Structure 1
Amino acid sequence: MAFSARARMVNPRLGTYFSIFAALYTALFLLILIFEQLKFSEHLLAGAFLAVPIFIYAAIGLSVGTNEILCYFAAGRRAPAIYTGLLLGASAIGGTFIVAGTGAFFFSGFDALVLLMGTLTGFVIMAIALAPFYRKFGAFTVPSYLGRRFESRTLRVITAGVAAVPMLLVLSAELRVGGGVAQRLVGGSANNLILLLALTVAISTVAGGKRSFTWAGVAQSIALFLALLGVATTVSVIVTSLPIPQLANGPMVRGLVRNEVNEGLQFINVWPLAFQLPPEGFAALTKPYTQPFGAIGPLAFIIGVFAIATGISVAPWLLPRVAASPSVYEARKSLGWATVFSGLALLTVSSIAIFMRDFTLEVVMKDRLGPLPQWLFQAAAQHIAAFDQASPHLGFEGLKFDRDGVLFALPLVVNLPSAFSYLLMAGALAAALVTASATTVSLAAVLGEDVVQGMSWEPPSPMRRIWTMRGFIVVVAFCGATLSIAAPTDPLRLVLWALSITGSSLFPVMVLSIWWKRLTVSGAVVGVVSGFVAAAFAIMTGEVGALSSPSPIAGILGLPVSFAFAIGLSLMRPEADRHGLEVVRDIRVPGGEIIYDREMQRLQLRKHART
């Protein structure tokens, strides 16, 4: 039987396996550090930091390949809470929030907290309102859940089409960020490196589906945190003598406020709906770090937090991860761990931005004596900073930084060996890979389960389902690469668009399907469609300037539209079918049999009886 109500025990050696990976990754860094001191070729060392981790990720993904349905689509439902939480946290922030988010904190200061607060709020909403009930239902994809919840094939297919759009946007953004980081690491063509990353995603996930993604993704998440925390802690010890960068920068912030104003940065007033996170490319500092609402207006800040939170909470590349937990209790624990890990990563990113602001202030001070520091010329050579190299004194307006290069300037500032820069780039690359893999596997499952088989409840043979998804994994990975190459767009803007669309189209129906028994099939269909159309229209009109709300947050305007249509149409035809009421009753009971597995068992038995 393909499904079983009895979950196998969690592998007790997982901690040993990933401790070995962490040791190997640390050993690679130390070897590169030693070879650098021995004057080995920098291109060779940088290439090793790109090739060796990619080889390990692919080897992990291939080694856990499987042909079992439950393992391929839900990692066997036996991923421990801490690993699921680590994977959720890394998949939510991805390479975009790590690389572009550092630049956002550097340029916008306080206002960039919209990213941190939105992400953490999203996980809290998921943990309270959605994840335990979704885990009890146990569907492999969000469209499958809605289709079975309302017994509607039409709703299942429509939701699949709507969910595919934000997942493609996120995949394109992550591959573009990863390609840019890889280009900084080894040089060459960014487009070729994007294709290489897409190939890596396909190889590391195709053999075992979500099982391969789970364990390769955990390794990628560990690589991210080793790099981020290792470099930030080293810099913190050098600068403040304290090994806790998230707390050690407090005294520096107090000094930044006074000194930045004295050096020419003025407080900026923006209108309440302004949303001016730094775009891609070079820019100069224009506002003090701690000034609130100098780049994002107070109303836009609230809307932005809500848009990110609702998008994170129902993201079709994140929410189905809780179905891999052994129980509802473990699903709740995993969301707690996800909040811890994502918060730790974003707080570390903000501390890196504060360190960079402090060093930048030392460069632009009017009473600075002596030549410009050497790290500034190294940053210019690596296309991280831009300034007039003949000028002995630079103001804030004369020194510009690349938003996506601020993160990698920190090792240069404190004159660390190049191995630290390679480590940081490899960590950012791992972050991009884990989110790209999450969206690729989730979108492949949606296409295989909900589009190809969406108009029939009859499950095909297990091997056919698995090979269909394997084919879609390859197709989706290279479609994302093609989109990233053919239509290059600011990755941060793409992710914010994707979260707004997801929140507007899926959040109302998902919440109502659990907490309001009177929601009908027609209300759910119209809610999904109206939310998606309104969000897409608001983003397009905001992008061309026809709407006063900026496009990164304009999409969330579709959320009240979706709520209104879903509730209004359900009240007009208030009948509720018996199956829907039973499902709502069952998912509110934490224990017992997994609903989706039970339904699949029944369908398999009926098919077997007919044949």
Structure 2
Amino acid sequence: MMFGARARVVNPRLGTYFSIFAALFTALFLLVLIFEQLSLRESLLRLAFFAGPILIYAAIGLAVGSNDALNYFAAGRRVPAAYNGLLLAATALGATFVVAGTGAFFFAGFDALVLLIGTLTGFVVMAITLAPFYRKFGAFTVPSYLGRRFESKPLRMISAAVVAVPMLLVLSAELRMGSSVASRLIALNPNLIVCVLALSVAITIAPGGKRSFTWAGVAQSLALFLAVLGVATTVSVIVTSLPIPQLANGPIARSLVRNEVNEGLQLVNVWPLAFDLPGEGFAALAKPYSQPFGAVGILGFGLAILAIASGISTAPWLLPRVATSPSVYEARKALGWATVFSGLILLTVSSIAIFMRDFALDAVMSERLGPLPKWLYDAATAHLVSFDQTATRLAFNGLKFDRDGVLFALPVATGLPKAFDYLLFAGALAAALVTAGATMVSLAAVLGEDVVQGMSWEPARAETRVWLTRGFIGIVAICGASLTLVAPTDPLRLVLWALSLTGASLFPVMVLSIWWKRLTANGAIFGVVSGFIAASLAILMSEVGLITTPSAISGILALPISWAMAIAVSLLRPEMTRHTLEIVRDIRVPGGEIIYDREMQRLQLRKHART
């Protein structure tokens, strides 16, 4: 009986559908590779890799459109664990951690492990402390969970306003990074590309909400993994004769240590709270790859891990994904898969960074005779590298790389056909689209469910809720594109700000709402508001120079304030009802009826009884 029910819940043809997509994506790459050798016009090949995948994603989103509320807000609660894990990993990383993260590993070396450790820790914390219980509750959004958990309409509205800020920051970061990647692929104005990407995401997810986003997002996640793993494996075979880049880069890394120091890269000492991951633009290598705490201080390293982990574990664009799982057990499995997939992709980009460091070292080796390698001139033509082209010898300070171009410089340095670069562009663009889609659909659900209807527990008609959220998807797309155009900022900094704000404001309240029965509605309100305000002020003061802590990690300093306010206010004014205690008890029991559905059914019955 159990196996029969499970077979009916999960579509058995999903593997076939996405195998077809993977075959189509691979076929597109092979066709472009063939036509490149046949000297077809390059602009057509670039356009094919830009428009082709986007049209496929839009077709998937339109094909699975739905007006059913459960499908629209929770993908029918029938997404298998592996697909949810793949989607969680790609959404958490996005184009920012993939593209800018590669540059961070290239320039900062060991210190960029803060991105890897923070992301994996965030998924582990989510799996242990939050995800199973959130899945048991079953709310469509984080503000809906907090409002129903504490039976507080003000908390629901306030938390909706708070979560909107980091989601807008992440949406702006991904649209900006996606525009930067796409402008390398096709010759269009970056501002126009931002509008095109926002429109394409809205068209893809509006027909089916979370359902459209889920299946289009899985396709985008597959495109990301196929692109990055495919190129990295090809380069690994060429450089080391081994098809496992995550392991084959070890001997290269060992040789870098001695040779980089011999060629002028000296050990760097920074103050403990430093956080100097590379920013946008061109920069030269300044420290050996394997030196620890040469760009990020030891205290800054710990604070950054805390900020990333707490932000990812309670991210309002990530945590509601577990509500789409068929069961609590599947939600736990999904977080396990997310940890595996995110670790795999981050280890791969770190391998790419090591390969590029080796090529950069080869270009500046004083023992080398003859002209500079040809790939440097090709990379300079593509605006990936900057150096004095009249020089015959280079030092590290004379060779500058674009942080967001390191990932795309690897096929050029290896001498691979341009189709490999186009493949990487398409994969990075898919990563930007999947994270932009996650934030867009989650923010639209918050606006439709928790802002417009936040002061009423009685849900509106299902069709009204769906069409309202569908309209907000368009509004969010316009707001995200406008913010990207009006206030362009380094995407990596925006994402780190968003994670700090989320961790400082939501993490204490979310954890206490499950593990401490005495937390009250007023305590939750004060915890969320105080953490958000304190984190925002810390970031602002760091930006204007009032405090010396870097703004990327200064926001997480507000985390103790949020903990203290939530606990203190709850102890000063204890207000617990029997119904609230029953909800907490039910949350901690993995099986049984979904609490949010049960509460909605009760409200519907009361509404019918009154009429």
State the TM-score, normalized to the length of structure 1.
0.99
2:151 is matched with: 151
1:577 is matched with: 577
2:381 is matched with: 381
Q: Which moved more, 1:266-275 or 1:362-371?
A: 362-371
1:317 is matched with: 317
2:142 is matched with: 142
Contact in 2 for aligned 1:173/1:494 (Cα 8 Å):
yes
* Residue 41 (structure 1) aligned with residue 35 (structure 2): no
Alpha-carbon separation, structure 1, partners of 2:247 and 2:306: 27
Alpha-carbon separation, structure 2, partners of 1:387 and 1:299: 35
Please list the CA deviations of residues 344-364 of structure 1 after superposition, one character each: whole Å capped at 9, or x if unmatched.
010000000000000000001
Counterparts of 1:539-554 in structure 2, within 5 Å, are 539-554=539-554
Alpha-carbon separation, structure 2, partners of 1:533 and 1:7: 47
SS at match of 2:228: helix
Change (3 A) 1:543 1:278: same
Please list the CA deviations of residues 222-267 of structure 1 after superposition, one character each: whole Å capped at 9, or x if unmatched.
0000000000000000000000000000000000000000000000
Counterparts of 1:122-201 in structure 2, within 5 Å, are 122-201=122-201
Instruction: Give the drift of 1:444.
Output: 0.3
SS at match of 1:533: helix
Please list the CA deviations of residues 47-84 of structure 1 after superposition, one character each: whole Å capped at 9, or x if unmatched.
00000100000000000000111000000000000000
Contact in 2 for aligned 1:131/1:319 (Cα 8 Å):
yes
Alpha-carbon separation, structure 1, partners of 2:208 and 2:7: 18
SS at match of 1:386: strand
Alpha-carbon separation, structure 2, partners of 1:96 and 1:250: 25
Alpha-carbon separation, structure 2, partners of 1:400 and 1:502: 35
Instruction: Give the drift of 1:16.
Output: 0.3
Counterparts of 1:236-255 in structure 2, within 5 Å, are 236-255=236-255
SS at match of 1:549: coil
2:80 is matched with: 80
Q: Which moved more, 1:575-584 or 1:167-176?
A: 575-584
Please list the CA deviations of residues 454-502 of structure 1 after superposition, one character each: whole Å capped at 9, or x if unmatched.
0111111111100000001111012111101110000000000000000
SS at match of 2:386: strand
- The one-letter amino acid paired with 2:215 is W
Instruction: Give the drift of 1:580.
Output: 1.5
1:16 is matched with: 16
Alpha-carbon separation, structure 1, partners of 2:113 and 2:338: 18
Unaligned runs of at least 5 residues, structure 2: none
Contact in 2 for aligned 1:7/1:326 (Cα 8 Å):
no
Instruction: Give the drift of 1:366.
Output: 1.2
Aligned residue-pair number = 607
- The one-letter amino acid paired with 2:395 is G
- The one-letter amino acid paired with 2:459 is P
Alpha-carbon separation, structure 2, partners of 1:104 and 1:218: 26
1:426 is matched with: 426
1:401 is matched with: 401
2:62 is matched with: 62
1:449 is matched with: 449
1:370 is matched with: 370
Instruction: Give the drift of 1:176.
Output: 0.2
Contact in 2 for aligned 1:8/1:78 (Cα 8 Å):
no
Alpha-carbon separation, structure 2, partners of 1:609 and 1:576: 28
* Residue 607 (structure 1) aligned with residue 611 (structure 2): no
Alpha-carbon separation, structure 1, partners of 2:203 and 2:7: 28
1:301 is matched with: 301
* Residue 561 (structure 1) aligned with residue 570 (structure 2): no
Alpha-carbon separation, structure 1, partners of 2:609 and 2:14: 40
Alpha-carbon separation, structure 1, partners of 2:301 and 2:62: 43
Unaligned runs of at least 5 residues, structure 1: none
- The one-letter amino acid paired with 1:191 is N
SS at match of 1:468: helix
Instruction: Give the drift of 1:574.
Output: 2.4
Instruction: Give the drift of 1:7.
Output: 10
Instruction: Give the drift of 1:601.
Output: 1.2
- The one-letter amino acid paired with 2:57 is Y
Alpha-carbon separation, structure 1, partners of 2:298 and 2:399: 28
Instruction: Give the drift of 1:609.
Output: 2.6
* Residue 223 (structure 1) aligned with residue 223 (structure 2): yes
Alpha-carbon separation, structure 2, partners of 1:8 and 1:567: 45
Contact in 2 for aligned 1:110/1:291 (Cα 8 Å):
yes
- The one-letter amino acid paired with 1:416 is L
1:111 is matched with: 111
- The one-letter amino acid paired with 1:411 is P
Change (3 A) 1:518 1:6: farther
1:538 is matched with: 538
Alpha-carbon separation, structure 2, partners of 1:215 and 1:490: 30
* Residue 256 (structure 1) aligned with residue 256 (structure 2): yes
Counterparts of 1:451-600 in structure 2, within 5 Å, are 451-600=451-600
Contact in 2 for aligned 1:150/1:580 (Cα 8 Å):
yes
Instruction: Give the drift of 1:6.
Output: 11
- The one-letter amino acid paired with 2:114 is V
Instruction: Give the drift of 1:219.
Output: 0.1
Contact in 2 for aligned 1:304/1:553 (Cα 8 Å):
yes
Please list the CA deviations of residues 184-214 of structure 1 after superposition, one character each: whole Å capped at 9, or x if unmatched.
0012200101111001100110000000000
Alpha-carbon separation, structure 2, partners of 1:548 and 1:188: 40
Counterparts of 1:25-36 in structure 2, within 5 Å, are 25-36=25-36
Q: Which moved more, 1:489-498 or 1:475-484?
A: 475-484
Please list the CA deviations of residues 486-525 of structure 1 after superposition, one character each: whole Å capped at 9, or x if unmatched.
1000000000000000000000000000000000111000
Alpha-carbon separation, structure 2, partners of 1:285 and 1:388: 16
1:337 is matched with: 337
Instruction: Give the drift of 1:543.
Output: 1.0
1:279 is matched with: 279
Contact in 2 for aligned 1:7/1:77 (Cα 8 Å):
no
Instruction: Calculate the aligned-residue CA RMSD, in Å.
Output: 1.0
Alpha-carbon separation, structure 2, partners of 1:340 and 1:507: 23
Instruction: Give the drift of 1:606.
Output: 1.9
Alpha-carbon separation, structure 1, partners of 2:272 and 2:109: 17
Please list the CA deviations of residues 511-547 of structure 1 after superposition, one character each: whole Å capped at 9, or x if unmatched.
0000000001110000000000000000000111111
Alpha-carbon separation, structure 1, partners of 2:67 and 2:605: 20
- The one-letter amino acid paired with 1:205 is I
Percent of residue pairs bearing the same amino acid type: 75
State the TM-score, normalized to the length of structure 2.
0.99
Divergent runs of 4+, >4 A: 5-8
Alpha-carbon separation, structure 2, partners of 1:385 and 1:132: 47
Alpha-carbon separation, structure 2, partners of 1:455 and 1:575: 20
Instruction: Give the drift of 1:610.
Output: 2.5
1:270 is matched with: 270
Change (3 A) 1:402 1:443: same
Contact in 2 for aligned 1:221/1:430 (Cα 8 Å):
yes
2:391 is matched with: 391
- The one-letter amino acid paired with 2:543 is E
Instruction: Give the drift of 1:8.
Output: 5.2
Alpha-carbon separation, structure 1, partners of 2:28 and 2:480: 30
- The one-letter amino acid paired with 1:389 is Q
Counterparts of 1:431-442 in structure 2, within 5 Å, are 431-442=431-442
Contact in 2 for aligned 1:7/1:78 (Cα 8 Å):
no
Change (3 A) 1:456 1:507: same
Instruction: Give the drift of 1:378.
Output: 0.9
Please list the CA deviations of residues 2-48 of structure 1 after superposition, one character each: whole Å capped at 9, or x if unmatched.
xxx99952100000000000001000000000000100011100000
Alpha-carbon separation, structure 2, partners of 1:178 and 1:146: 33
Alpha-carbon separation, structure 2, partners of 1:6 and 1:363: 57
